[in-house]
Structure 1
Amino acid sequence: MFQNIRADLAAHGGHWGAQGFWALLVYRFGQWRYGVRPALLRKLCSLLYKVLFKLVQIVTGIELPCEVKLGKNFVIDHFGGIVISGYARFGDNCRIRNGVVVGLRRVDEPCAPHIGDNVDIGAGAKLLGNIRIGNNVAIGANAVVLCDVPDNHVAYGVPAVIKLRKAKA
């Protein structure tokens, strides 16, 4: 747990006051509590996690349940209005910004996006449903992504238009 917390702090530029770091700190605690023994102590840790989760949700506007699978160097760049489904999965080196929703497309379909490595998600973007976002993808601000995005592409607009990412000069 502490190794992950140190890595999260480094990913947030060493800023203890970064609200994205606060959300990740509670997330890491929530995951760690599953391995606590005996069961009574685990239940106490679960109660503490639920209180901390709600506090972070109210103070920062970030909903990051401990059921989400996160890769290394996950960064929440700006806080506020971020909702991530517990069914979502993120690869390594992902970055999200304020107003992002990664969740279910339909309530009766409990499946959320699987996001690859090196994905940058712009402010206000919505990624919904059982979709796969490839590696090295950029999601534009306010994009609504309802379909798969292949590796090395960009998604922008409502509904999202998928284009090949231009090579860096």
Structure 2
Amino acid sequence: MKLFSFIRSDLAAHDGDWGAQGFWALLVYRFGRWRYSVRPALLRKLFSLIYKVLYKLVQIVTGIELPCEVRLGKNFVIDHFGGIVISGYASFGDNCRIRNGVVVGLRRVDEPCAPQIGNNVDIGAGAKLLGNIRIGNNVAIGANAVVLCDVPDNHVAYGVPAVIKPRKVLACNQT
């Protein structure tokens, strides 16, 4: 079953730590996504009720708001819990990592457009990514950055408002 393979992958991404609050949020997220595939309508409604209770419980206990409408890639990691809000309109590629205090959401309530985030993106603590923007692949978002515009592949965004610079690649074994 696809649900269990996602859960195994999420657990591995959190280093096998069943106690990680980020894993709890992902567990409820995966259940919420899976319930849409249940065919008998009555059973789906029962699972929807269970999901809503679990979602609220995880939101209260962990401070992570991760609705099942978000599109997540593989190996999504929530490093530190607390104060994380992700809009249901957002999407993440594979191998993304976020930390506490991150907001990925709408810039304005009347614009239901949230960031579309690529693969291998590392988002620092307290960062805010808002609006209809695209974050490329292999991007690092600095702590407390406020990102309101697109960030190309292989760049770093830091500051308020975010300054965008190319990533410097350090060669190993420099002498």
Q: TM-score under structure 2 normalisation?
A: 0.96
RMSD: 0.4
Partner of 2:168 in structure 1?
A: 166
Counterpart-to-counterpart distance in 2, 1:119 and 1:31: 23
The count of corresponding residues between Structure 1 and Structure 2 is: 169
Partner of 2:92 in structure 1?
A: 90
The residue correspondences of 1:41-52 to structure 2 (distance < 5 A) are 41-52=43-54
The residue correspondences of 1:3-18 to structure 2 (distance < 5 A) are 3-18=5-20
What is the CA deviation profile of residues 3-54 of structure 1, one whole-angstrom value per residue up to 9, with x for unaligned ones?
A: 0000000000000000000000000000000011210000000000000000
Read off the aligned partner of 2:101 and give its amino acid letter.
G
What is the CA deviation profile of residues 67-100 of structure 1, one whole-angstrom value per residue up to 9, with x for unaligned ones?
A: 0000010000000000000000000000000000
Partner of 1:145 in structure 2?
A: 147
Secondary structure at 2:104 match in 1: strand
Partner of 1:20 in structure 2?
A: 22
Unaligned 5+ residue runs, structure 1?
none
Read off the aligned partner of 2:28 and give its amino acid letter.
V
Counterpart-to-counterpart distance in 2, 1:38 and 1:155: 46
Unaligned 5+ residue runs, structure 2?
none
The residue correspondences of 1:81-160 to structure 2 (distance < 5 A) are 81-160=83-162
Pair member with larger Rg: 2
Runs of 4+ with >3 A deviation = none
